[in-house]
Structure 1
Amino acid sequence: MTASRTLAEGGMETSYGFRDVAEGEKQGLVNEVFHKVAKRYDIMNDVMSAGMHRLWKDAMVAALHPSKNPSYKVLDVAGGTGDIAFRIVEASKRQAHVTVLDINASMLQVGEERAAKKRLSDNVTFVEANAEALPFEDNSFDAYTVAFGIRNVPRIDTALSEAFRVLKRGGRLLVLEFSEVQLPVLDEVYDQWSFKAIPKFGQMITGDGEPYQYLVESIRKFPNQKDFARMVETAGFSRVAYTNYTGGIVALHSGWKI
């Protein structure tokens, strides 16, 4: 049931899963998805990935290798529940500061509650804003991270241009995202799991399977590794590269502002 991947000009602005929607409509639909799943988002991540998302995120933060300098600043986009931010802060020995930006207030609320419980509120700031119009000055951050969120942005090219703008010279972009499976047998198994099991688990755990149907479909519509790498280059980044994890189920993309 693998769907062909499409690359809309500028991103996925009219793609809501396998359904085409009017330009300007996608953001509201995606917001509604994350309002529905916010409270159980991290539980469902464990279910959907069989716990692998934890290893992928750990690998992302290890690749970032955050500085232990108190002046080191990271912008984590679409990171509402704080999963990446908390990892970065801990990897920096609680020296780095991470600004978590998300367009969804429900996800941010979960993140703020988690930060308080972990006593990380001094290291993490939560901001409700759009990745396509970042409310920050040019050259503000040492790193920009986004994990499993870029595919939900309607205008991906605009978000990448904004990432380039707010990064300092020498700053790094890291994007962790589901991608195109490279192994023939694994892609069939992955399709069966994605389309038949994940929406059912979503229904059982959250009481609503539809958001997870969208999330599964959105993965298949996202540009493959090479196409997305070209988008990163087009945004102005240098030394663009990607690393496949778990046979290409996930890829970590990297670029530098030089």
Structure 2
Amino acid sequence: MKKVVLSFTKSLNYQRKQLFSCVKSIQEVETFWDSFSEKYVTQDNSINLFYFSLLNMIKFDQRNKILEVGAGGGYLLNHALKYKKPSAQYFATDLSENMLKILCRRMNLQDCLNNKQVSQNLYNLKIEKANGEALQYQDNTFDCYISNLCLQLTPHPELMIQESFRVLQKGGSAGFSVWGERDKSLFYTILPSVLSQFGYKEPPIRSNFHLNNREKLIEMMKNAGFNNVICWNQFTPFHHTTEQEINNFLNFPNNLQAIESTGENKEKVKQAIYQKLKEHIIEKNLPLGLDGLLVIGTK
């Protein structure tokens, strides 16, 4: 039993170091998302409620020059481009070049990163690689900044917030979303919860819930210089609502790898996860999802 526990603990430590932000540098973040990009875009259709709320709260449709940091595979980019004013300039950026290539495919743009930048005249769109902790843009460039579920991933979130303030014009607004309450985020917490019953202990690393502190997030925004700071929790449901989708969850590559790593216990682990999912979804009639903590501020 000890050998089995040790085996899957080592495997899961590695996965969680990758998936839960145990990072020493921005380069490690870039490397991870370059390698994880294709898997991630199979599930990036589940985070749209946070994005829509941020667009609404920062009066996105009234802005003239917009920067998105962490645009990822661009699942919601078409919506944003149609929602903004036709004359507004939009800069879609990400740290991962592979993510930007996926975004370009979705926009039907060819060779969009030959010069690390692409312009698309129809929507006044520019797609660029950018590091949210050290943006290449001059001070007072934009009147709108948005970053959805990225702040908790960067090694130094304070720097990212400070950079958003720097590149904003006076009167401009910034909006961020991060992971919120663990207890309401079963999609990401059910696996480690069940594994802990079989001897697995989470490694002492920074989790993606590390910014789930409303007072802390407000203080970070105010310390960067933002005024009129508003911060709230919001839940977004994912699409795991049937027995088939429960099986899809169990067979998602990273979840399946974790389950397989438990060796002789894998069937017991799988059954325990299945029963917990079934109780939550089918018996309690609740969706799996992610709780978010959203914050906006004005310069």
* Length-normalised TM-score, structure 2: 0.61
Does the 8 Å CA contact 2:21/2:153 hold for their aligned counterparts?
no
Residue equivalent to 2:157: 156
Residue equivalent to 1:103: 95
The Cα shift of 1:164 comes to: 0.8
Matched residues, number = 209
The Cα shift of 1:146 comes to: 0.2
Quick one: structure 1 residues 98 and 84, their matched pair in 2 at CA, closer, same or farther if it must change by over 3 Å?
farther
Q: Flag the structure with larger Rg.
A: 2
1:35 aligns with 2:27: no
More deviation, 149-158/135-144:
149-158
The Cα shift of 1:16 comes to: 6.8
Residue equivalent to 1:205: none
Quick one: structure 1 residues 19 and 243, their matched pair in 2 at CA, closer, same or farther if it must change by over 3 Å?
closer
Does the 8 Å CA contact 2:214/2:231 hold for their aligned counterparts?
yes
The Cα shift of 1:37 comes to: 2.2
Does the 8 Å CA contact 1:16/1:26 hold for their aligned counterparts?
no
Dislocated runs of 4+, deviation >4 Å: 15-21
Residue equivalent to 2:167: 166
Quick one: structure 1 residues 218 and 90, their matched pair in 2 at CA, closer, same or farther if it must change by over 3 Å?
farther
| CA–CA distance in structure 2, aligned partners of residues 104 and 115 of structure 1 | 17
Structure 1: where are the runs of 5+ without partners? 1-14, 182-186, 199-212
1:83-94 to 2 correspondence within 5 Å? 83-92=75-84, 94=86
Quick one: structure 1 residues 164 and 249, their matched pair in 2 at CA, closer, same or farther if it must change by over 3 Å?
same
* Length-normalised TM-score, structure 1: 0.70
1:95-244 to 2 correspondence within 5 Å? 95-116=87-108, 121-122=120-121, 123=123, 124-180=125-181, 187=183, 190-191=185-186, 193-197=187-191, 218-244=207-233
| Partner SS, residue 154 of structure 1 | coil
More deviation, 222-231/99-108:
222-231
| Partner SS, residue 246 of structure 1 | strand
Does the 8 Å CA contact 2:144/2:174 hold for their aligned counterparts?
yes
Q: Percent identity?
A: 23
Quick one: structure 1 residues 105 and 63, their matched pair in 2 at CA, closer, same or farther if it must change by over 3 Å?
same
| CA–CA distance in structure 2, aligned partners of residues 147 and 103 of structure 1 | 14
1:55 aligns with 2:49: yes
Root-mean-square deviation over aligned CA pairs: 3.0
The Cα shift of 1:93 comes to: 5.0
Structure 2: where are the runs of 5+ without partners? 1-16, 110-118, 193-201, 237-289
The Cα shift of 1:172 comes to: 0.1
